[in-house]
A and B are shown apart, each in its own frame.
Chain A
Amino acid sequence: KNQVEQSPQSLIILEGKNCTLQCNYTVSPFSNLRWYKQDTGRGPVSLTIMTFSENTKSNGRYTATLDADTKQSSLHITASQLSDSASYICVVSDIKAAGNKLTFGGGTRVLVKP
Chain B
Amino acid sequence: DTGVSQDPRHKITKRGQNVTFRCDPISEHNRLYWYRQTLGQGPEFLTYFQNEAQLEKSRLLSDRFSAERPKGSFSTLEIQRTEQGDSAMYLCASSLGPNTGELFFGEGSRLTVL
| A107:B42 contact, CB within 8 angstroms | yes
Interface size for B (C-beta < 8 A) is: 30
Q: Smallest distance from the beta carbon of B56 to chain A beta carbons, Å?
A: 5
B45 at the interface (CB under 8 A from A): yes
Comparing A11-19, A43-51, A67-75, A76-84, the segment that makes contact with chain B is A43-51
| A105:B42 contact, CB within 8 angstroms | yes
Contacting residues, chain A, for B103 (C-beta < 8 A): 34, 46, 99, 102
Q: Which residue of A lies closest to B100 (CB)?
A: A32
Contacting residues, chain A, for B95 (C-beta < 8 A): 99
Q: Which residue of B lies closest to A90 (CB)?
A: B42
| B105:A45 contact, CB within 8 angstroms | yes
Inter-chain CA distance A58–B6, complex, in Å, is 30
Contacting residues, chain A, for B45 (C-beta < 8 A): 99-100, 102
| B99:A97 contact, CB within 8 angstroms | yes
Q: Smallest distance from the beta carbon of A87 to chain B beta carbons, Å?
A: 8
Q: Find B100's partner among A31, A41, A42, A101 (CB 8 Å cutoff).
A: A31
Q: Which residue of B lies closest to A31 (CB)?
A: B99
Q: Which residue of B lies closest to A94 (CB)?
A: B99
Contact flag A89-B48 (CB < 8 Å), given A99-B33, A102-B103: no
Contacting residues, chain B, for A101 (C-beta < 8 A): 99
Inter-chain CA distance A23–B44, complex, in Å, is 18
Write 12 A-B pairs (CB below 8 A) sorted by A numbering: A34-B102, A36-B105, A43-B6, A43-B91, A43-B105, A46-B104, A51-B100, A89-B43, A98-B48, A99-B31, A107-B41, A107-B42
Q: 4 closest Cβ contacts across the A-B interface?
A: A104-B42, A43-B105, A97-B99, A99-B33
- Give me the interface of B with A, judged by CB distance under 8 Å: 4, 6, 31, 33, 40-45, 48, 50, 55-56, 58, 89, 91, 93, 95, 98-100, 102-108, 110
- Give me the interface of A with B, judged by CB distance under 8 Å: 4, 31-32, 34, 36, 41-46, 49, 51, 89, 91, 93-102, 104-107, 109
Task: Given contact pairs A41-B110, A43-B105, enumerate 4 new A-B contacts (beta carbons under 8 Å).
Answer: A91-B42, A99-B93, A100-B45, A106-B41
